Amino acid sequence: MIQRRSFLGLMGAATAAAGTGSLVLPAAAENKKHTIALVPGLTTDAFYITMHRGADAAAEALGQDLLFQGASEWNVTLQVPVLDAVIARKPDAILIAPTDKVQLVEPLKKANDAGITVVCVDTFIGNGVFQTGAGDADFPISYVASDNVLGGVMAARALAQSIGEKGKVYVSNVKPGVSTTDQREEGFKQEMANHPDIEVLETQFNDDDANKAAAQVQAVIGRVPDLAGVFGANLFSASGTANGVKQAGKQGEVKIAAFDAPQSVVQELKDGTFEIVIAQHPAEIGYFGVVAAYAHLTGNPVPTHIGTGFTVMTKDNIDDPNVSKYLYTG
């Protein structure tokens, strides 16, 4: 009766890693074509473009229709109208990267009330713990994302190693209140607590402005000339910090761990701009998001949290195809 396809092995492995039991995929024999919509945080970012590719691959393999609709900017007031328009088209499921934990609850509840299955990808609403019967934001069936705390931990480990397990570091972050970057910072600090000779200084928030991130690292170096490393919690934080380090004449002395991996990081790892790059696996997020929605629509249980992995990139491994395949592509 149940016809397993080749990708299900991968699926099982992923769900096992998330510790939530098995995800059983139903027969394609049912042959009903569902419409699944993916609403990204923003449409213009390589991360979400790569996620879209992964979602497309899953939809195609499962014979489902995929819609991709979003705003060009990370902004609640732009995302909600797009979401409303998507709901009006009555898809069977919506995969969404909510741009705010709180403000997207009501708009998504409308979808849920209309019988549309909701899956959160990359970011979440409420506290990200779903199907508990508690609170008013537990209705999404699953949260599929990189484990950002783990990402922060991995960045901390790699950075600690490259600075020789001692010295002062800080986190260059976008702004407080963004679930993913907050979690990366949390994981980074959590792991650094295990490295007694490393001191974590005050976090600097740059509003996603590379110019400001650069000035901040220059100011920190002005006060703390022996700064050893910086964790850039997103791409602009990292590239701005890298430029500030260069302007301060400290390239190579202050090591930078960057988060996210567009194609340009290859060059930046090779020329020493970045010491470490933590790549998420956005294609996996899109892929598993579609699979989870499909499983639920066909009456199968779905884990409430699916965590996808990371790849640590350095100049030594970036030419390895098993590593470079995780670069984001537009």
Q: Which residues bind other proteins (CB under 8 A)?
A: 43-46, 49, 72-73, 202-205, 207-212, 214-216, 218-220, 222-223, 235-236, 239-240, 243-244, 246-248, 262-264, 267, 328, 330
CB contact burial 247-284 (16+ within 10 A = b; e otherwise) = ebebbeebbbbbbbbbeebbebbeeebbbbbbbbbbbb
Helices (H), 45-178: 46-62, 76-88, 105-113, 148-162
Best CA proximity match to 36, nearest among 100, 86, 108: 86
Shortest reach from residue 178's CB to other proteins, in Å: 15
Shortest reach from residue 126's CB to other proteins, in Å: 25
CB-based contact 235:328 (threshold 8 Å): no
CB-based contact 242:268 (threshold 8 Å): yes
Looking at beta carbons only, is 30 or 207 nearer to other proteins?
A: 207
CB-based contact 321:282 (threshold 8 Å): no
Shortest reach from residue 58's CB to other proteins, in Å: 21
Cα separation of 122 and 114, whole Å? 23
Shortest reach from residue 75's CB to other proteins, in Å: 11
CB-based contact 181:47 (threshold 8 Å): no
Looking at beta carbons only, is 179 or 216 nearer to other proteins?
A: 216
Shortest reach from residue 70's CB to other proteins, in Å: 12
Shortest reach from residue 88's CB to other proteins, in Å: 23
Looking at beta carbons only, is 221 or 295 nearer to other proteins?
A: 221
Looking at beta carbons only, is 252 or 330 nearer to other proteins?
A: 330
Q: Look up residue 250 and give its two tokens.
A: 């400290």
Cα separation of 118 and 295, whole Å? 12
Looking at beta carbons only, is 243 or 304 nearer to other proteins?
A: 243
Looking at beta carbons only, is 160 or 235 nearer to other proteins?
A: 235
